[in-house]
Amino acid sequence: MSANTDSATPDEEPAATAYEERGEVGYRRSLSHLQLQMIAFGGAVGVGLFLGLGEQLSSVGPGLILSYLVVGALVYLLMRALGEMTVYRPATGGFVSYAREFVGPRFAHLTGWIYVTVAVLVGIAEISAVGVYTAYWFPDAPAWLSPLVALCLVFGTNVLTVRAFGLIESAAAAIKVIAIVLFLVTGVLVVLFGGSGAPEASVTNLWEGGFLPHGVWPVVLVMQAVVFSFSAVEVTATAAGEAKDAARSMPKAVRGVVFRLGLFYIGSVLVLSMLLPTDHYSGDESPFVTALSSLGVPYLGGIMNLVVLSASLSGVNAALYATIRLLRNLAAHGSAPKATVLIDRRGVPTGALAFTSLLYLVGVVLILFADAGSVFFLALDAASVGILLAWMAIFVSHLRFRARVRDGSIASVDFRMPGFPYTDWACLAVLTAIFCSLVFDSGTAYAGLIATVALLAVHGATYEIAKRRVARKGLPDVTPVGRARG
């Protein structure tokens, strides 16, 4: 880019010229098609399923499946919208990059920082869950110790090249897939042919205590937590920015990931509801551990606890991967601390990695003052509100993207959102309804709603500060460290 372009303020980016994404400089496209799918799946199947599902089942009952069906359909359309924009232009900045190109720099700044905040909260939730899982074996160990070890492990993984990260995350995702498949098969067999080892397992559990024992309203209120369960599925777009052939891989990844997520989440709700009455579950331990421990098979609960522990580590890994790339994208456009724009010769955004890891340490500090389970659910509720806003931003960006296609500014792609524009507006309506329902939640979700509105005001102010800083000093150098600059 020329010096004149670099010194322009975000609001002065010329609309008439082709969009140029500064945040892509330095990355290497080395992820395979399989790795892209596994990263997307691994990110979305984490603590929301393996720990959060217990609290959801307890508060809603077997009718929780209705919440997952609604949000599952929403996720499918979300990924189709995001997939269409990704095929048009793969970007490690993901939907933040599309928000900037199709809506505007202020919208991208708000969207990016809300999501970065959410991702940090998700990371804290995942790290807190590590403390819950390890307490299964070491109840007297300091609550902060295992989360701190977990943070060191994921930091080390993200320091590696993206190819090495892809291999590790793919292996972790494969463990989740195998474990969930085995659980679903075992659970169905126990329900159909179980004997004295599973006296409470029965299909009748789905309705015997009431399909909706607490009424319909909890189905609506729990949807913000269900949205959290599916969160990180949008990491697919971020990973596509480092894929070898995103135009070919992304459509397959979207179809494959959404199908597997629907099968595993909805299947898990059904099997767990049949293995035990839903009032047996809680947020104190993984519902999978609760269900399998009830079968009386030695070590089965401990083995599943090990699996969900690895799933939590994988979730932190994926959240950190996405966060540092979105943060670096913001920094490349002057919307984040200058140090976070640093990227090394291997394509690792080291500045954003160090900055975000320090923020994750906050989660470990919180565990010093509260039990791990409390930190988990507080972070879950706060993050859920931000995720709702991030998903809304994706649909808004897609509407503007298609408007540009319609007026001939950019070319259309073959992988299109079905039912446009009605599906975009329908999804925005559902997300808005979920967002508004939080007003009637007297718990921490309501507090998370207030905090998110305040956060929007804060980041609205930080955009003005960033714009003035760029006007004075210009945009930061995005050249990888170790290469000639200028």
Arithmetic mean of pLDDT, 6-28: 60
Mean pLDDT within 149-173: 82
Please measure the distance between the N-terminal and C-terminal CA atoms of the chain and give it in whole angstroms. Answer: 10
Q: In the structure, what pLDDT confidence band is assigned to residue 401 with cuts at 50, 70 and 90?
A: very high
Please state the pTM of the whole predicted model.
0.85
Q: Which residues contact 189 (CB under 8 A, 6 or more apart)?
A: none
pLDDT in tens, 331-370: 999 898 888 999 888 888 999 999 998 888 877 777 666 6
Cα distances from 379 to residues 125, 128, 387, 443, in angstroms, run 6, 9, 12, 13
d(Cα 323, Cα 113) in Å, to the nearest integer? 10
Report the pLDDT value the prediction gives residue 107, as an integer from 0 to 100: 93
Per-residue pLDDT tens digits for 246-266: 777 788 878 777 777 778 888
- Judged by DSSP in three states, 405 sits in helix
Per DSSP, the residues of 254-297 read HHHHHHHHHHHHHHHHHHHHHHS-GGG--TTS-HHHHHHHTTT-
Tokens describing residue 363:
């989660």
DSSP character string of 221-256: HTHHHHHHHHTTTTHHHHHHTTBTTHHHHHHHHHHH
Structure tokens that stand for 293 in this block: 């421990």
Q: How far apart are CA 284 and CA 289, in angstroms?
A: 11
Reference 40, options 186, 181, 176; nearest CA is: 176
pLDDT at 213: 86
Cβ atoms within 10 Å, residue 138: 10
Lowest mean pLDDT among 3-7, 176-180, 278-282, 376-380: 3-7
For 447-464, write each residue's pLDDT tens digit.
Answer: 667 777 788 888 888 899
Q: Which domains does the chain have, with CATH numbers?
A: 25-473 (1.20.1740.10)
The pLDDT of residue 158 is above 50: yes
| 403 vs 251: which has the higher pLDDT | 403
- In the DSSP assignment, the letter for residue 141 is S
Burial of residue 206 (number of CB atoms within 10 Å: 0-12, 13-18, 19+): middle
